[in-house]
Amino acid sequence: MDLELNGTTAVVTGASRGIGLAITRELIAQGVRVAAGARRGTAELERTGAIVIEADLTTPDGPARFIEASTTALGGIDLLVNNLGGGGDHELPATFLESTDRQWTDMFELNFFSMVRTTRAALPALLERRGAIINFSSITARIPHTSPLTYAAAKGAVSTFSKGLAEEYGPRGVRVNTISPGPVLTEQWTGPDGTGAKFAAARGVSQEQLLRDIPCEMGVTTGEFAQPRQVAALVAYLASPLAGATHGADHVIDGGAIKTV
């Protein structure tokens, strides 16, 4: 299917691995010129053919500098994909009482405020081209008992922010949608230093055992993790003119984990 994206431009955050890397590859395969943001560039990201821009989006001025460099490199922005997020570099609190102010602040800086600042910096360019924004939330925004509360609350803020942004800027031609994945098989789960390793250590089980247990524990009907390329395909569709009437919606890709209508 021709998604009619050839010749357009996109900015993707958190592009060095996992879902962000898969999104970058898919958009480039669709003929999109991509500015890929990463704290540190990698050889794998370079090989995609994207314009790699190193930036720390968790700093107050990082997003503005990143968007300025991206706009200059691309000549304009048709699509912003706010993919950056995750559990961060600190140990995740097992309970609310064990959580600290620093953990709350860091989680919101990574998952929420980086998105707010990046969107604010990119919005003038997106308004000029009547572009689109795709923000990444999570099913934990709807079922927070499956995640540390710090992460779930930050993703809940992303969902609310996205809905309000869609209402405000939809009439001015900028489409805003949200994607809420369930468990996706990325390095966050499989890597030695990722969230999966932290969860496994906290439970006293092997990482392999954790990966077998997680889909069932999260109520995934298919019993399997989603794949990054499947999420990337959804991004490409939502970015395309074929989804021109899709606006202000949260698109769940969770293998059936959310059971409510």
pLDDT band, very low/low/confident/very high, at 69 (cuts 50, 70, 90): very high
Which of 98-107, 144-153, 232-241 is predicted most confidently?
232-241
Residue 147 is predicted with a pLDDT of 73
Share of the chain above pLDDT 90, in %: 88
Nearest CA to 148 out of 197, 84, 104 is that of: 104
Rounded to the nearest 5 degrees, what angle is found at the Cα of 254, between the Cα atoms of 250 and 257? 110
Residue 198 is predicted with a pLDDT of 83
The predicted model scores a pTM of 0.96
Nearest CA to 50 out of 67, 85, 26 is that of: 26
Mean pLDDT calculated for residue range 45-54: 98
pLDDT digits (tens, 9 = 90+) for 15-29: 999 999 999 999 999
**Which of 108, 136, 151, 225 is an active site residue?**
151
**Model confidence at 244: pLDDT above 90:** yes
Fold classification of 9-182+227-252 (topology level): Rossmann fold (3.40.50)
Residue where the block lists tokens 């001015």: 172
Q: How far apart are CA 167 and CA 152, in angstroms?
A: 23
Is 54 in a helix, a strand, or coil?
A: strand
Mean pLDDT calculated for residue range 234-251: 98
Q: How far apart are CA 175 and CA 155, in angstroms?
A: 20
Contact indicator for 225, 185 with CB cutoff of 8 Å: yes
Annotation says 169 is catalytic: no
Q: Please list the residues that pair with 34 across neighbouring strands.
A: 10
CA distances from 203 to 66, 113, 194, 207, 224 (A): 38, 30, 15, 10, 21
E strand spans, 214-258: 250-253
Residue 215 is predicted with a pLDDT of 94
What DSSP assignment string belongs to 153-181? HHHHHHHHHHHHHHHHHGGGT-EEEEEEE
Residue 58 is predicted with a pLDDT of 97
Residue 16 is predicted with a pLDDT of 96
Write down the mean pLDDT value for the chain.
95
CATH 3.40.50.720 positions along the chain are 9-182+227-252
pLDDT digits (tens, 9 = 90+) for 80-118: 999 999 887 667 787 899 999 999 999 999 999 999 999
pLDDT digits (tens, 9 = 90+) for 180-211: 999 999 998 999 988 888 889 888 999 999 99
Q: 3 vs 200, which has greater pLDDT?
A: 3
CA distances from 173 to 117, 147, 168, 194, 217 (A): 20, 35, 10, 38, 41
